[in-house]
Structures are given as structure tokens and as C-alpha cells.
Amino acid sequence: MTKDADSVTKRRIGVLALQGGFEAHERRLTELGHEPLRVRYAAQFSELDGLILPGGESTTHLKLIALEGLGPALEAFVATRKPVLATCAGLILSAKTVTGPAQASFGFLDVAVRRNAWGRQLDSFEAVADDSDVPLTFIRAPRIESVGPGVEVVLRYHGEPVLVRSGVFFGATFHPELTTDVRVHRQVFGGALNAATSAR
């Protein structure tokens, strides 16, 4: 992985909490000394120093974002260039192009992804990133099939990109929140100066 973000004071990091696995992200943020906030309303985005778009079911996320009228607030938040981590279904929502099947998305990251391309639920597996000991947990994970010129590949697995970034916006095909390793969250959001965790 590239160098971790510098240590920072405690940040309020939103976790989109419409559906999916947001609780584990909250635990990782707390371990880093940050304050997680479950985001369900448009007005909450103005309170945030960063944001996580978690895993879950991407089509359900899209329907609930539309139902709650969150799209404009989400797009406005990303435009502020505060740090964002999009994992699994969150990456699908953020991609420029989605296939397997085709699906609407916000296009925050210049990547093309294929849904469920690492396998269905029964094909879930754990692994370790290439040239690193960062643990990877894949659950109905998308594959990144191409990256645009402004996107940096941070981690690979079997040569394929599994963690990418464009500025302060990160996208992961795997679930970094499902292990006790906080390095991905630390790289995106930094660690608060008063954090008690000694995790990696």
C-alpha cells in the first residue's frame, strides 16, 4: 500500500446506513479514534469530514438513495473532495461503468466494474494482496475491469486491481472492515491523535 494518511484529530466520518454492512465500518473507525455517524438523511452530509459507501446490494442502495432523495447531497459531498471509501457495492455505485448486468451509477471513479465477478455468495473467500500482507475478504465482489488515466491502483490480487484511488476517493472490491486490520481505513481517513488502537 502507499503511505498512510497523516495522523489527524478526531473526524466525524459518515457511513451510509440505508442497507448492508455498515456496523463493521463503524468499529474500524472507532478503533482509529474517529466518530462514526450513520447517514440516512440529506442534511447529515454537511456534518461530515469523510464518508464510507459500504457493501450490500447495489440495486437496493440505488433505490433507497432515490427514495430518500440523497443523490444531490451525495454528489455535492463528493465535490468537496473530502475523503471517501467505497467498498464492494459502494464501489459499484461509484464506478463510471457497470456491467454484469449494466446498471446506473454515479461515476465518481473512472473505472469499469463487473458485478459479482469474483463469484456468488457461496464463492466468498479470504486472501492476501499481492506484494503485501493486507488481508482481503471477497463476498459477491465486483471486479475492476479497467481504470482511467487518473486512477491509481493501490492494491492488486493475482495482478488485478482490488483497491484504487483518485485523489481522496478510494474504491475497494473487497471488505476491509471485516478484518481487524485497519490499514485501509487509516490510509483513507488517517488515525486520530488520541486513538488507543495498536492495530496495523
In order of their start, the domains of the chain are 12-189 (3.40.50.880)
Tell me the C-alpha to C-alpha distance, in Å, between residue 96 and each of 54, 118, 184, 192. Answer: 17, 19, 22, 32
Report pLDDT digits (tens) over 13-40: 999 999 888 999 999 999 999 999 999 9
**Residues 6+ away with beta carbon under 8 Å from 50:** 11, 12, 13, 14, 34, 82, 83, 84, 85, 188, 189
CB of 75 closer than 8 Å to CB of 181: no
88 included as an active-site residue:
yes
177 included as an active-site residue:
yes
| pLDDT averaged over every residue in the chain | 91
Question: What's the pTM?
Answer: 0.92
**Residues 6+ away with beta carbon under 8 Å from 143:** 113, 114, 117, 118, 160, 173
The catalytic residue among 26, 31, 34, 177 is 177
Report pLDDT digits (tens) over 95-136: 999 999 999 999 999 999 999 887 666 568 899 999 999 999
What pLDDT score was predicted for residue 142?
Answer: 93
The catalytic residue among 34, 61, 175, 185 is 175
Tell me the C-alpha to C-alpha distance, in Å, between residue 80 and each of 51, 68, 155. Answer: 11, 21, 25
What pLDDT score was predicted for residue 166?
Answer: 97
